[in-house]
Amino acid sequence: MVRVRCAIYTRKSSEEGLEQEFNSLDAQREACEAYVASQRHEGWGLLKTRYDDGGISGGHLERPALQRLMMDVDEGRVDQIVVYKIDRLTRSLADFAKLVDRLDTAQASFVSVTQSFNTATSMGRLTLNVLLSFAQFEREVTAERIRDKIAASKKKGLWMGGYVPLGYEAAGRTLTINPGEAGTIRIVFTLYEEHRTLNRVAQEAERLGIRSKRYVTQSGRDQGGRVMSRGHIHKILTNPLYAGRIAHKGLIHEGQHPAIIDAEQWERVQAILTAQSAIPRGQRNSGRPTSPLAGKLFDISGERLTPVHTQKAGRRYDYYISQSLKTAAAPGVKGSGWRLPARALEDRINAAVRKHLRTTILGGLVPNATPQTISDLSIGIECWPLIGAQD
């Protein structure tokens, strides 16, 4: 009699109830053990190694226990995988096809305790594909229903969970103000109204000892409480939660939680951010001049020149400046380096490249060419946006 080495795989999507002495994983394993025992006359024997994934979705294959199980299958240590239901193994047809290919390669199969078929027969494969189609359909319908529920709840202004921002504490489906942290948020908004630059606000926030929100992850790790970066401050300034609103899929809804920043100050800050933005918020292609020489220029000290811009009286001014000027130690302290007007520099380089093409490249391509011939050949070059090329 051929010995069939059986491994039991169990899975539960949520962590709820896993702390109990006899949980869902134990119930699945008990049923599978009984099934393997009933097939002892066929040579089935149970392996002692446990393969349990608790609190992990079946919508993907990135599960530690499943990965260990499939590795053992690949190495020829498992002949039969036993599961309580097929959706414990996977809910995706695409993932199922990958698993079946690996099982076929290893000359192994799997069987479901509550569904009478196995992948060793053609009828079993057909039945399994039909059942998996319904399982995937159910998963997708459930996901759509959850997305619709979240959208409807946010439209009503409800807090639907996730990372709790600085200034608030979670309270069911709404948020309550954390008085100490709310003061920090008001300081950040006031600083930006005063200085109008994120770099200066970041410097002032560090000087005042302002830190990000501290929290403990589900694994028990203590995170946060760090110095706020420029990007962190920008995220705070653009978060409509602080004005008592909820954002979802590009739409803003009135929230049921209290506001930390009044509507007038919120609108003033958004107007400043829009005016200071290099690209208008919400637009990918603003039509404004790009910086085609970014990353290609260096000053006399070997420092890379960085594109920057300023605005005055509604007019935009673009420059390439040395890194030492951009990262000056403190506001008001002048660093040493270059500050070159961008458009004038780009125009001069553009003209120099075109001149080189006319006199050198085209002249070499057309031996004994007259000036008129070279002039005719260079007509297309006049419209060639060479400076816009990346390399």
- Residue 161: pLDDT band by 50, 70, 90 thresholds? confident
- Residue 295: pLDDT band by 50, 70, 90 thresholds? confident
- Residue 318: pLDDT band by 50, 70, 90 thresholds? confident
Share of the chain above pLDDT 70, in %: 81
- pLDDT at position 280 is 53
- pLDDT at position 29 is 93
Query: For residue 94, how many other CB atoms are within 10 A of its CB?
Result: 10
Q: Residue 30: phi, psi to the nearest 5?
A: -60, -45
**What is the torsion angle, in degrees rounded to the nearest 10, for the CA atoms of residue 49, residue 54, residue 57 and residue 59?**
10
The residue whose two tokens read 């391509």 is: 365
Tell me the pLDDT tens digit for each residue of 199-230.
Answer: 889 999 989 988 888 877 766 777 888 888 88
In the predicted structure, residue 370 carries a pLDDT above the cut 60 = no
Q: What is the mean pLDDT of residues 309-331?
A: 72
Task: Report how far apart, in Å, the C-alpha atoms of 301 and of each of 292, 305, 323, 336, 391 are.
Answer: 22, 11, 10, 10, 23
Q: What is the mean pLDDT of residues 174-187?
A: 92
Structural contact between residues 185 and 242, judged by C-beta atoms closer than 8 angstroms: yes
Rg of the chain's alpha carbons, rounded to an integer? 32
Min mean pLDDT across 62-66, 206-210, 214-218, 387-391 is at 387-391
Which spans in 84-121 are helix H? 86-89, 93-105
In the predicted structure, residue 389 carries a pLDDT above the cut 60 = no
Min mean pLDDT across 17-31, 53-67, 246-260, 304-318 is at 304-318
Strand pairing partners for 9? 51
- pLDDT at position 326 is 66
Interhelix angle 230-237/263-276, nearest 10 degrees: 130
Highest averaged pLDDT of the listed ranges 102-106, 282-286, 361-365: 102-106
In the predicted structure, residue 80 carries a pLDDT above the cut 60 = yes
- pLDDT at position 307 is 86
- pLDDT at position 19 is 81
Q: What is the mean pLDDT of residues 170-188?
A: 91
Q: Read off the pTM.
A: 0.50
- Residue 110: pLDDT band by 50, 70, 90 thresholds? confident
- Residue 116: pLDDT band by 50, 70, 90 thresholds? low
Q: What is the mean pLDDT of residues 325-337?
A: 57
- pLDDT at position 214 is 84
In the predicted structure, residue 191 carries a pLDDT above the cut 60 = yes
Q: What is the mean pLDDT of residues 31-56?
A: 92
In the predicted structure, residue 36 carries a pLDDT above the cut 90 = yes
Buried b (16+ CB within 10 A) or exposed e, 351-370: eeebeebbeeebbeeeeeee
Highest averaged pLDDT of the listed ranges 31-45, 135-149, 337-351: 31-45
Q: Which helix (H) or strand (E) holds 315?
A: strand 315-322
- Residue 329: pLDDT band by 50, 70, 90 thresholds? very low
Q: Is 237 exposed, middle or buried (0-12, 13-18, 19+ CB in 10 A)?
A: buried
- pLDDT at position 181 is 92
